[in-house]
Structure 1
């Protein structure tokens, strides 16, 4: 007789190979190597686009696959296709979003379902009132004193050192950074996409600081219109003592330093005896120091000086305030989609009861075939269900409908800004969708009305390849409206100039508009008071006079479309504007959708509107 122990041993021997075969493959291929940095030296802001700078190398056999990122506390997977031939080394940036309280995540190279390499990256979440300062310099100790910087609008600061190659090509991936210092590096190496991203980021709140001194032309080489001065060449020696007024600290400032000869461009203002030049970009600012930034090393007032110069601008770009607004699904109107009214449902239900009961009974009684009730009752039930199903499908339509709200944000005189698109997908059936955008666009799924962009509900499978970024196989229920959010750097089509005088409660002067034609245009003070301009056409000049008695933006009625509730969108604006003291915005609409996604590989034609939010340059702040 076979003992129980023997039987267990035999079963274990038979099942062990099957269990091993069913286990997920995690084999490491010795030739594949991953090195990466998450965010800015590990620092990130939750639910904000964060770049992962990756170096992938292969000393083994040819490999094709995807690099995948997954945060430890999120179900979302962000991946990018990559080919790694033998002997190759490739650098790439994978843009991801991390939920709040992320401490780590895994970055993997996966080929054919097998993980060939995997590393763990640590994440350090920034507090909402912390300023993140990025420094691009060959000097790893430059400006480290700024970690002790404080200001009236932020509690503390963090400093991250980055390479020029790590500057994202998407402006949205710079959203965590409040200020970027560029020092002693050759910016001719940056790409056009990086330069445009910097300009768009600066137009919505970023602050770009460029160092002068003996290496000024090298630092300025690739910045183009982001330079606020011309450098004709030549230097002079001058004291840096005038900077003391910015920090009430003179001891430690050099008596002599190399100063760049600089000619300010239009809109630039010299400060501190022409040692510093500044220019407003709408939401942010450009800064040029005629001296080498390293000249302030050892000055006790360095952190206080920069804290005072940077604190008058908001910590986070305006786009984050809009993204964190709850209830974006209320922006879309389903009135254009025919739905059966409640009274119609009651009528159908009453008709069903009459047909199944009295009518069926009277007909069968007249025919003297009451015994057929067991056939007619199920037949009538099937007939009504089929009719309701067919009628419902006919009313909803048989095709997926795409609705879109685009919000463009930029500075009045800046060439580029950031365009955020909220795309609503209405499905007539329960179906899965792959939603794609072009390579210049980042994509994430809305987390819903109970915490959009602010909660930990970042989900979905995202793949980036040569054709762009896609959300894969997302299931949308019958009659459901699913919202996805995309962001990209875009040219500014609504530029304006003028002379405006602003106080805490008023705005006066004039603006000259040079952009595309806008509907329902208005100028809005940061208090929420507004002046309606109506239809705004190119080359028009408007006189502006806003005071505390001017109507509130919330009280102004909008001309509605059949697809989008403009009034609901405007509900999001006063809050984020009041977070931006003494600022003014030009707002206007176009009844067009500017970003067309692909749905299951086919082009779509969204129905929607575009809202332009242009921050105006003001004086008297």
Structure 2
């Protein structure tokens, strides 16, 4: 007991004092990587060791334990010195305490559980403000959504000191505003992190005006580029018009900068003078204002908070218009890891032993070693020889089993890497990579990445991400140690045979590449070209619209493919349905894998891997394809070497690539919108149940009023309606359908599950602004299944 007694005592602990804070002024989101600031005062002795922080991660699958990750950073503490550390650590559950240790070798010289503030929900809206005059724009306190709802926001003051160099830390912010700040104070790493954050889906707002030289100082590359003219005094009502077109209020006298942002679109204009630009950058957006948000007349404007709410809403990335964000769950950087976890654990290229063959061999061994061996020796009256024959037979069959499994023998770790790459129309790619490190042996694995690449642990407890943890009295076990600092690495402990440990991989380099193309849809046929300048050889490639898809097969890097064909298939507009059409649901029969040949089993595992990754992608986009796009797979490697226990290991890499593609629906004067292209919006949703966007199921009773906006620059010649409900719901009057009659300003009841409105009646049901309305009344309180009604339109240019 004396030998094992912890050497820490109260007197020594007093000689080492630690202060700790989490987040930005104690503000952070659960489910994100959080900066932990530590200050250590050492009055004990010279210490060369490391600081460790313990973080509970939940239970690993199949383990009745509470697992802990250690995050460690080397530190040198001379006697009578004080040092500060920054450690970026993922916090995936609600906690209010963190345990800190200071080790010198194996000797723990400090150990204390320290209090921190609890984090915000992962669905909270967080706005970072980078300004030399923070108070002048701290009025930003809400975000307007496309459906008219307003979400409250929490502001965080950012400076050149606390601005992160880690993109994963920035992901807790929904929006970042830079105004009246000298951006040249940002380091190269901070600027690169900012760009990657935008490419990943961040929303950056830049104010210029008189301080434009400061604000734009860091933007020397093509991330935000253009030309700058002279400052001008602009009298405008357009800022108020963003709030209410019908009553914009008085003129505002702005000191505005004549700035033209390359590749941007105008959001607010006064005549030909653009006051706010919007620039799309991969998955994110940048809004550049020609004025300063903190100067008069904005500073004294009574509508300034509402204006910023509307401006943020008008310049958000497109995915914020998806249903989950509209319902107030704007966790734009939330990672859905279940599909990723399943995909990286699945290694189709790894030969799998045929369990059936091994069982047959084992049964034959049992028959020969026992009854046959006994019967033969009994007839020979030599039963005592079984002491020799049984071991000999056992050794022989062990050799047979070894030979049978020789083709599937793995002796070294293998890294299975899946990357998700999104390319924008400008040629910039955002990349997210995940790896599964498979080991055939027991013991500890130390994993390191080559220079220019970074690795982190990936939570295996995928369901608890961003949620509060429940009290768990299971014993605590250290699962992994993450070594931060100049030589980062991860040590995974207690690995069993055939363990597969998950890692998050990121690279310093920003990739460039494009998939260019333009297609025209007319008379049910797609015509055009797709040119692959992505830097990847593509396979299993598809063009996806909002309602159908075309299979393109393989396209090598630099190749151009001509398209002139009908859609390969159609789907409901939701990702899960699309994947089912393409891959025929590889999970539909568990017996498939057992009864398959080696080659069939490999192909089925490949299909399951693709299914999981695509499902993960569509879940990130709330179940829907993001407009017209190309989706493809590639085996072109993009990551650098992974070192396991000091050795470079074999990597198996695949990338899932998405890129936008232009699809026009006009051929000369003819216009044709296929089913699903025009998506409805709710204008009234008085429901007792709801509508499941993923399962396409109405549940509960209620009234659902939908509005379809048709381009009012075309003459509509035919409008077709298509809806599909459970077989008896229409006959039993459980679902009533109505279309809006413009002439009578009332709804007409009818059966519109398959209905066509011809040219002579178009003006009766579509108003002069191109709006068509559809209403559903569901009277049955039980579940009624059905798809969202969709329309197709044919017409000509006015």
Counterpart contact for 1:204–1:317, Cα < 8 Å? no
Distance 1:278 1:134, change over 3 A: same
How far apart, CA to CA, are the structure 1 residues paired with 2:163 and 2:552? 39
Aligned 8 A contact 2:340 2:613 in 1: no
1:518 aligns with 2:511: no
2:426 corresponds to 1:424 = no
Deviates more, 1:275-284 or 1:334-343: 334-343
Q: 1:358 aligns with which of 339, 361, 372?
A: 372
C-alpha RMSD of the superposition: 4.3
Counterpart selection for 1:44 from 14, 24, 28: 28
Contact 2:534–2:557 (Cα < 8 Å) also in 1:
yes
Deviation digits for residues 238-285 of structure 1 (CA, Å, limit 9, x no counterpart): 345321112239899883332223233233435232221111113221
Cα distance change on mapping 1:124 and 1:306 into 2, 3 Å: farther
Structure 1 position 190 matched with structure 2 position 186: yes
Contact 1:446–1:453, Cα closer than 8 Å, also in 2: no
Q: Is 1:485 the equivalent of 2:504?
A: yes
When structure 1 is superposed on structure 2, of 346-355 and 53-62 the one drifting more is 53-62
Distance 1:245 1:358 in 2: 94
Query: In structure 1, what is the Cα distance between the partners aligned to 2:529 and 2:637?
Result: 30
Could you say what secondary structure the match of 1:465 adopts? Answer: coil
Deviations 1:117-136 (A, max 9, x none): 86835244333442211111
Number of aligned residue pairs: 598
**Superposition TM-score, scaled by structure 2 size:** 0.65
Matches of 2:528 and 2:44, distance apart in 1: 67
The alpha-carbon deviation at position 83 of structure 1 amounts to 3.6
Please give the alpha-carbon distance, in whole angstroms, between the structure 2 residues aligned to 1:566 and 1:56: 48
Question: Alignment partner for residue 406 of structure 1, among 399, 408, 419?
Answer: 419
2:483 is equivalent to residue 463 of structure 1 = yes
Structure 2 partner of 1:78: 71
1:211 to 207, 211, 227: 207
Q: 1:37 to 1:448 in 2, by over 3 A?
A: closer
SS in 2 for 1:272: strand
Q: Which residue of 2 aligns with 1:303?
A: 305
Q: TM-score, normalised by structure 1?
A: 0.81
Among 449, 456, 459, which residue is 1:437 paired with?
Answer: 449
Q: Note if 1:141 corresponds to 2:135.
A: yes
Q: Which residue of 2 aligns with 1:9?
A: none
1:529 and 1:546 in contact (8 A); partners too: no
In the alignment, what sits opposite 2:48?
A: 64
**Alpha-carbon spacing, 1:355–1:24, altered in 2? closer, same or farther (3 Å):** same
How far apart, in 2, do the equivalents of 1:253 and 1:130 lie? Answer: 34
Q: Unaligned regions of 5+ residues in structure 2, if any? A: 59-67, 473-477, 572-577, 585-599, 665-677, 680-798
Residue 450 of structure 1 deviates from its aligned partner by 6.1
Matches of 1:106 and 1:418, distance apart in 2: 34
Measured in 2, the distance between the counterparts of 1:239 and 1:167 equals 36
Partner residue of 2:582 out of 547, 552, 556:
556
Is 1:537 matched with 2:557?
A: yes
Tell me if structure 2 keeps the 8 A contact 1:271–1:278.
Answer: no
Q: 1:564-607 CA deviation, whole Å, 9 max, x = no partner?
A: 53343223233333456853443222213432321012222301
Aligned residue runs from structure 1 range 90-489, under 5 A: 93-107=86-100, 109-112=102-105, 113-116=107-110, 120=114, 122-151=116-145, 152=147, 155-225=151-221, 228=224, 230=226, 232=228, 234-239=230-235, 241-248=237-244, 255-269=252-266, 271-273=268-270, 274-295=274-295, 296-311=298-313, 312-313=316-317, 314=320, 320-323=334-337, 325=339, 327-329=341-343, 332-334=346-348, 336-363=350-377, 365-366=379-380, 368-373=381-386, 376-377=389-390, 395-413=408-426, 415=428, 417-421=430-434, 423-438=435-450, 440-448=452-460, 451=463, 460-468=480-488, 470-489=489-508
Q: Is the contact between residue 107 and residue 118 of structure 1 (CA under 8 Å) also seen in structure 2?
A: yes
Which residue matches 2:782?
Answer: none
Instruction: Kindly indicate which of the two structures has a greater share of residues assigned to strand.
Output: 2
Distance 1:107 1:262, change over 3 A: farther
Cα deviation per residue 1:4-42 (whole Å; 9 max; x = unaligned)?
A: xxxxxxxxxxx7xx3894355677678877665523433
Unaligned runs of 5+ residues in structure 1 are 1-14
Deviations 1:69-104 (CA, angstroms, capped at 9, x unpaired): 334676222222234557987665422111222234
Please report how far the alpha carbon of residue 292 of structure 1 lies from its aligned counterpart in structure 2 after TM superposition: 1.1
Q: Give SS of 1:43's match.
A: coil
Contact 1:107 1:121 in 2 (8 A): no
Q: Which structure has more RCO (C-alpha within 8 Å, separation ≥ 6)?
A: 1
Q: Structure 1: how far apart are the matches of 2:529 and 2:465?
A: 37
Asked if the contact 1:399–1:427 (Cα under 8 Å) also holds between the matched residues in 2, the reply is yes
Tell me the SS of whatever aligns to 1:169: coil
- Per-residue CA deviation, residues 343-367 of structure 1 (Å, 9 max, x unaligned), is 431332232232223224423541x
Q: 2:653 aligns with which of 592, 605, 608?
A: 608
